Amino acid sequence: MSGLIPLLAAVLILGIGAILIFSLLGRSGGSKKARGRDVTLREATRKLAQNPRDPEALQSMGDIYFQEENWPLAYKTYETLTGMLNEHPTMDEFLINQRCGLAAMKLNQPNEAYKAFTGAKMIRGDDFEVNYNLGSLEFQRKNYEKAIQLYQMARLKDPEHAPTLRGMGHSLFKMKKYKEALAFIRKAIDLSPDDKESLYTLAECYYEANQTDQALKIFAHLRADPVMGPNACLFSGTININSHQYDKAIEDFEIGLKHQNIKSDVLIELKYRLATAYLRQQEIGRAIELLRDVQNLNPSYKDTAVLISRYQELNSNRNLQIYLMAPQADFIALCRKIVMGYFQRAKIKITNIAVSKNEWADLLAEVDTPKWSDVVMFRFIRSQGSVGELIVRDFHSHLKEVKAGKGICVTPGGFSEEARRYTEARLIDLIDKAKLGGLLNTVDTRAAAQRKK
């Protein structure tokens, strides 16, 4: 055992020595490389001092700058070389144009990059870097068909290059070829899972292809994203509104509005759509507040002014809200109240109620007053538009069928001149918006008084 200790010590010393030797050799190699670079630059600088257009010196400097990713100096050097190609036909024209284009891309100079890559493509049309970057530049120029052709050529060299697949998918999406775009964007996301923009575009493809369930899942997933979130909330909420899921739509829009630095057009649309969702839920006060915000941001936005004017009155008249917007059961209950309190000092019995979809309700009532008794039919129309002659004629025909002696036609809108002329010689009273407003303001007290009798 004692004999092993000196042996282990010797091995340890040799190991440490080897590490030190390799370290010194690495440093020596690195220093030699640095010295080689400096020597090359000094020699090139010396030559350029004698001849600013020395091709060998410029190529030596360009190579160093390109390898070190010093893009401003690399671009300046290769741009100079592209102007010398006709003078020196032995230079590598393809390499010079390709590197000039790549440096210009890194410096966000698309026009210069396009010119350089086009020159390179004329020499070697199948080069991956050239085709991929030209495809990206055509995409920026909105030449999507050309971009697709170039991306396809790049894919021949590298079928699994995620940015190329992404470019293909986004180009096809811009051309409204949604089903074709889906395959490319899905594969690009598989290769680059953190690409949120492509994930958002994938959801748009699903939406446009009427695969709303898949779209909704992705948009809901992106709602919290600081960049894509507001737009994702807008899409998600819209899908839920179209599906009559108003509570979910409100949640989507409210999440969207919590984001910071929302683009103005998205902010306005989020507020507008949230207001419409609140209107569907009969939360008129909250809707009007949002619509006023929209109007302040853009006074002429869509039908905001019309909605504010229409719903301000509703906001102050609960019965008018019920008449126009409430579910059918609540609407019928209100109509019953109006009928029961319509005639003073009368005994009224409602004998039949018929509903035509959600357009109107016909209530048939037996009315007994101290002076007369008769069967009266009420037609309560929900639309705020102008009631024409055809609807009034239909109502009159229905009166005959049920043998009613009198008809009362009620609308929250108005009646056309033809409708009014038709009823002049007939026992039909027309109650327009102004008269209905009076009825709705007193309906609760009149109905209560009628019940006491």
Q: How confident is the model at residue 357 (pLDDT cuts 50, 70, 90)?
A: confident
Q: What is the pLDDT of residue 38?
A: 80
Q: How confident is the model at residue 48 (pLDDT cuts 50, 70, 90)?
A: confident
Cα–Cα nearest to 223, from 208, 239, 234? 234
The string of pLDDT tens digits covering residues 390-414 is: 999 999 999 999 999 999 999 999 9
Q: What is the pLDDT of residue 24?
A: 40
Please state which of the ranges 33-47, 266-280, 348-362 shows the lowest mean pLDDT.
Answer: 33-47
Query: Residue ranges per domain, the chain?
Result: 47-319, 324-452
**pLDDT of 86 above 70:** yes
- Phi and psi (nearest 5°) for 92? -80, 95
User: What are 83's two structure tokens?
Assistant: 């102007």
Please state which of the ranges 30-39, 270-279, 308-317 shows the lowest mean pLDDT.
Answer: 30-39
Q: How confident is the model at residue 452 (pLDDT cuts 50, 70, 90)?
A: low
**What average pLDDT does the segment 99-112 reach?**
97
Fold of 47-319: 1.25.40
- Phi and psi (nearest 5°) for 352? -160, 145
The larger pLDDT score, comparing residue 6 to residue 214, is at 214
Of all residues in the chain, what percent carry a pLDDT higher than 70?
91
Per the CB < 8 A criterion, the answer to whether 222 and 228 are in contact is yes
Please state which of the ranges 99-108, 190-199, 435-444 shows the lowest mean pLDDT.
Answer: 435-444
Q: What is the pLDDT of residue 15?
A: 39
The string of pLDDT tens digits covering residues 286-335 is: 999 999 999 999 999 999 999 998 888 788 788 988 998 888 999 999 99
Q: What is the pLDDT of residue 14?
A: 36
Q: Given this structure, which CATH class describes domain 324-452?
A: alpha beta
List all residues 6 or more positions away from 107 whose beta carbon is below 8 Å from its beta carbon: 71, 72, 75
Q: What is the pLDDT of residue 313?
A: 78
Strand partners for 83: none
Q: What is the pLDDT of residue 451?
A: 57
Q: How far is CA 172 from CA 95, 153, 201, 259, 375, in A?
A: 31, 15, 11, 30, 67
**What average pLDDT does the segment 381-387 reach?**
92
Coil/strand/helix, residue 170: helix
Q: How far apart are CA 127 and CA 118, in angstroms?
A: 11
**pLDDT of 189 above 90:** yes
Q: What is the pLDDT of residue 453?
A: 55
Beta strand 360-368 with 414-415 is: unpaired
Q: What is the pLDDT of residue 193?
A: 94
Q: Is the pTM of this model over 0.95?
A: no
Q: What is the pLDDT of residue 268?
A: 97
**pLDDT of 26 above 50:** no
Q: What is the pLDDT of residue 218?
A: 97
The string of pLDDT tens digits covering residues 123-177 is: 999 999 999 999 999 999 999 999 999 999 999 999 999 999 999 999 999 999 9
**HSE-up (13 A, CA, CB side) for residue 15:** 6
Of all residues in the chain, what percent carry a pLDDT higher than 90?
73
Q: Rank 19-28, 42-51, 58-67 by mean pLDDT and report only the highest.
A: 58-67
The string of pLDDT tens digits covering residues 408-444 is: 999 999 999 999 999 998 999 999 999 998 899 888 7
Say which amino acid occupies 40: T
**Positive or negative torsion for Cα 175, 180, 186, 187:** negative
**What average pLDDT does the segment 99-106 reach?**
96
Q: What is the pLDDT of residue 37?
A: 80
Phi/psi region, residue 343 (left: phi>0; alpha: psi -120 to 50; beta: rest), is beta
**What average pLDDT does the segment 256-269 reach?**
96
